[in-house]
Amino acid sequence: MKYNQLENSDLKVSEICLGTMTFGEQNTEDDAHDQLDMAADYGVNFIDTAEMYPVAPRAETQGLTEAYVGSWLKHQKREDLIVATKITGPSRGFEWIRGGPRVTAEHINAAIDGSLKRLQTDYVDLYQIHWPDRYVPMFGSTSYDIKNEHDTTPIMAQLEALSVLVDAGKVRYIGLSNETPYGVSEFNRCAKELGLPHIVSIQNAYHLLNRTFEAGLAETCRHENVGLLAYSPLAFGHLSGKYLENPQAKGRVTQFPQFTQRYSKINVPEALQAYAFIAENAGLTLTQLGLAFVRSRWFTSSTIIGATNLEQLKENLETVHIEPSGEVFNQVEKVHQQYPNPAP
């Protein structure tokens, strides 16, 4: 397992991060502990979770993911692990989280205290805003519509509140998720202006069917020294190939169809078939090609994988040994030019 320095921090994160959003919905506590044990045995030192997990979000299960991680974490050598979690942003409902989540100082303090209690730890290594407090198009929406703007906590005020957590030792570093070039730049502009902690990471979707990060965010993150934590590297399981073989295969896509609209867009099936063809000719599975591609990008600090069983997890973890040739990636580029970002 390779370890990468997370920009502007002293965190050396494994190139594979274990995502946990299935814990508490598709996976039991015992399942969760088995996955965490396997990941650690393979050298994974980086675990990502969130206060709103598991997915699909429900009042009855909210917080179970952190609790399952916490009941495992209390038996581990804490200093050997890098634990990341997230505060829930507004604009998606979830009234059961603090009466309607926001990213204000009051909400930030309540959210971190809840997360620390569930995780059974005194601190988290990386604390992320799950999505912006302000309006931005996301989760399949790509066009900014000023009619959707709403009152928001100023970025400077959010950063000041997060800085208090760093000073208190509850959080080591701060990051963003589902952010834009403007958001990354503005957070770090405020940090420089006020001498506050910089953003060290951004957790955004990135995979063969969605390479929109490469447009504005790659340049922004390079100059702002912000590392990408790539989530959904297999596009909700589409890049495992299982839905090509059986559109009704068991998985998140069929279990939670409300989260899959972005994968129902034009050219998704054609792109998937083209990437599957490249993988087969290279003697690879589509999973191996998809994860190796994300891991190979210069801006990827860690690739967040998730699984619902140990067999899937083992396959994902062992892709760290897969290094496709330059010719394979040249073929990937040709498909990307033909079907650019069909699932943004």
* SS3 track for 208-240: CCECHHHCCHHHHHHHHCCEEEEECCCCCCHHH
What are the residues whose beta carbons fall under 8 Å from the beta carbon of 289, sequence distance 6 or more?
Answer: 208, 239, 275, 278, 279, 282, 324, 328, 332
What are the residues whose beta carbons fall under 8 Å from the beta carbon of 104, sequence distance 6 or more?
Answer: 133, 153, 157, 158, 161
Cβ(294)–Cβ(233) below 8 Å? yes
Nearest to 324 by CA among 291, 277, 276: 291
Among the listed residues 3, 42, 53, 206, the single catalytic one is 53
> Which 3 state secondary structure label does DSSP give 272?
helix
Identify whether 263 is a catalytic site residue: no
> What is the spatial distance between Cα 203 and Cα 176, in angstroms, rounded to a whole number?
6
Strands 3-5 and 227-231, bridge-based pairing: unpaired
Containing 110, the helix (H) or strand (E) segment is: helix 105-119
> What is the spatial distance between Cα 91 and Cα 72, in angstroms, rounded to a whole number?
32
Cβ(231)–Cβ(202) below 8 Å? no
Residues annotated as catalytic are 53
